[in-house]
Amino acid sequence: MKDFKLEVAKSIHSQTTDLSLEDIISLIEIPPNKEMGDYAFPCFRFAKVFRKAPNLIAQELASKIEKVGCIENVEPLGGYVNFFINKKALAESVIKEVLEKEDRYGSSDIGEGKSVIVEFSSPNIAKPFHIGHIRSTVIGSSIEKIYKFCGYNTISINHLGDYGTQFGKLIVAFKKWGSEEEVKNNPIPTLLKLYIQFHDEVEKDPSLEDEGRMWFKKLEDGDEEATRLWQWFRDVSLDEFNRVYDMLNIKFDSYAGESFYSDKMPRVLDMMEEKNILKESKGAQIVDLEEYGMPPALIRKSDGSTLYITRDITAAIYRKEHYDFYKNIYVVASQQNLHFQQWFKIIELMGFEWAKDCVHVPFGLVSLEEGTIATRKGRVVFLEDVLNKAIQTTKDIIKEKNPNLENIDEVAKQVGIGAVVFQELSNNRIKDYTFSWDRTLNFDGETGPYVQYTHVRTCSLLRKANEEVNCDIDFSLLTDEDSINVITVLSGFSKAVLDAMRKNEPHIIARYVVDLAQAFNKFYHDNAIIVEDKELRKARLALVKATKQTIKNGLALLGVASPERM
């Protein structure tokens, strides 16, 4: 795309030697409303230099700048110089770029192929996904897509919670009360039930606790039976999780979970020993973090067993050695803020300068409207149930709206799942929010279905027109207010993508596609598109096609499909 901001900056630069081109670019602002132009340059910085009021400087500067190329008009207003961009040039450059780049519109190569690890989802084996894992999955997967779109080489890791004393307990519970049949038929709920049963029984018989510990020790020592059962629990759980990942169209490059690091921890403990950061405390080993305003981190228990945090430290070192990451991102609920602060500090104390490249991307809690989702014991939500309910409800809505739709099952899946995913991404990730079906599946609100429906609208216009749509058009026919509105939003896509990447905030793209859909729908309601006049029709169809492409690219970054009919 033609860089209009750069053109404006150059025109200012030609009139002053006091600022570099880069400085000018960084000073240029977007005015709050269109009457004030497309770009504004504040003159306050010069006031001291020239000993003149900013508004006088603005007047002088505005009178000197030539109205050539993409600059249609220049006007002083207070201490600002406002620039008006030639609308035809804008329309031409934006639409040409979208239609030429297609699926790559909005992408960049600023990542230069550097490796970024995005760790997300990371559920615990033998337990259902809880609502926090859903958020992590959806946000993390989108973040990974965004980095990839910006030219990074991404590696997605599912740090499965597949290790720890709870597996000793589960083995005991299974051996005492479990049936192989039942686990096979209904793996996660059955394993969860056994785990809960273990905790109920422990109240009556505390010796079970020791038995659990013993079985975990056996597992750590590679005992055949313990390993076989653990592996089986892991396999059946992963099969369940994969069903959900398939529905969401999510794949991981690595499923190296906590157990993967069990044999790598001794070396890391030695390294910590060497750096002299471990302290003895009642037979256990800790890192004292008082100096940094944090409670001590327990690294190794008195019985020699390691902890969650020990595995995280080990995993990070392994990842650096194995992937040589540029950034190592963790998409994990904000409840674990302290955990990440603690171990990032420990990595730093161990002397790893790359500690600064580890990033915790936290998110807030979701609560559920009473009675919205079937919750079973312990307020556990089965993600699959949520998705299936969304699909079913969507199917009912579509049946009513468009009874003759051919592949209704496929579309209901795309829209139902898209609605849930979009809802997750339509708030700042850090904000807590309440999940509501009405809001999620509303076709008119600022929702996934609304954006998808706008995409469908563009598809149906292009189908109806049934003619070739390209850039060989008269761009001056797209300079009316509605068209320019859409074009201005279209032109901001790359910036939204970069913003979302820098802030690890997919919400920015969700917001962007809603804005685009709204601008387009206003254009659509106020203007006939398939008109008699051939030139006008061709121009408007090009705008429709560019909108279709950009919505599709935006939704793809969120992990939401763009059906052609619904």
Active site residues: 127, 130, 133
CB–CB of 110/150 below 8 Å? yes
- CB nearer to ligand ARG: give 122 or 310: 122
The residue (of 159 and 552) whose beta carbon lies closer to ligand ARG is 159
3-state SS assignment for residue 161: strand
Closest CA to 117 of 158, 151, 157, 161: 157
Instruction: Show contacts with ligand ARG in window 525-564 (CB under 6 A).
Output: none
| C-alpha span between 483 and 523 (Å, rounded) | 6
Least distance in Å: CB of 501 to ligand ARG?
Answer: 21
Site residues for ligand ARG, 275-304, by CB under 6 A, read: none
Helix (H, G, I), strand (E, B), or coil: what is residue 29? strand
Q: Closest CB to ligand ARG belongs to which residue? A: 161
Q: Would you state the structure tokens that stand for residue 317, as one six-digit string?
A: 């070192």
* Pairing relationship of beta strands 380-381 and 375-376 according to DSSP bridges: antiparallel
The single residue listed with the structure tokens 């780049």 is 101
* Least distance CB 343 / ligand ARG (angstroms): 9
92 in contact with ligand ARG (CB under 6 A) = no
**CA nearest neighbour of 487 among 511, 514, 519:** 519
122 versus 447: smaller Cβ distance to ligand ARG: 122
Q: Is 147 left (phi over 0), alpha (psi -120 to 50) or beta?
A: alpha
- 330 contributes a contact to ligand ARG by CB under 6 A: yes
Which one, 161 or 416, has the nearer CB to ligand ARG? Answer: 161
Contact set for ligand ARG, span 97-126 (CB under 6 A): 119, 122, 124
Q: Is residue 309 within 8 Å of residue 268, measured between CB atoms?
A: no
Task: Choose among 339, 338, 286, 343: nearest CA to 317.
Answer: 343
User: In whole angstroms, how close is the CB of 334 to ligand ARG at the nearest point?
Assistant: 12
Contact between 164 and ligand ARG per CB under 6 A: no
Q: What is the total count of residues that contact ligand ARG (CB under 6 A)? A: 8
CB of 293: closest distance to ligand ARG in angstroms? 21
Identify which of residues 97 and 162 has a Cβ nearer to ligand ARG in the complex. Answer: 162
Closest distance of CB 162 from ligand ARG, Å? 9
Q: Are strands 366-368 and 358-361 parallel, antiparallel or unpaired?
A: unpaired
Chain centroid, CA 41 distance in Å: 33
How many Å apart are CA 261 and CA 271, to the nearest integer?
15
Applying CB under 6 A, which of residues 40, 265, 332, 541 lies at the interface with ligand ARG?
Answer: 332
- Whole-number Å distance between alpha carbons of 274 and 185: 50
Longest Cα separation, the chain = 89
- Confirm or reject binding of residue 159 to ligand ARG (CB under 6 A): yes
Question: With binding defined as CB under 6 A, does residue 79 bind ligand ARG?
Answer: no
CB of 344 to ligand ARG, least distance (A): 11
Q: Is 135 in the site for ligand ARG (CB under 6 A)?
A: no
Nearest-angstrom CA–CA distance, 315 and 35: 55
Q: How far is the CB of 161 from ligand ARG (least distance, A)?
A: 3
Nearest-10 Cα torsion for 139, 265, 303, 213: 50
Residue ranges in 357-396 that form contacts with ligand ARG under rule CB under 6 A: none
Q: Is 161 in the site for ligand ARG (CB under 6 A)?
A: yes
128 lies in the site for ligand ARG, by CB under 6 A: no
Whether the Cβ atoms of residue 415 and residue 478 lie closer than 8 Å to each other: no
Nearer to ligand ARG, 330 or 493 (CB): 330
CA angle (84 as vertex; 82, 85 as ends), nearest 5: 140
Residue 312 sits in the site that holds ligand ARG (CB under 6 A) = yes
> Given the complex with ligand ARG, which of 332 and 361 has the nearer CB atom?
332
Q: Which is nearer to ligand ARG, 197 or 334 (CB)?
A: 334
Give kind and range of the element (H or E) at residue 280.
strand 279-281
Shortest distance, position 309 Cβ to ligand ARG, whole Å: 8
DSSP string, 164-183: STHHHHHHHHHHHH--HHHH
Q: Which residues bind ligand ARG (CB under 6 A)?
A: 119, 122, 124, 159, 161, 312, 330, 332
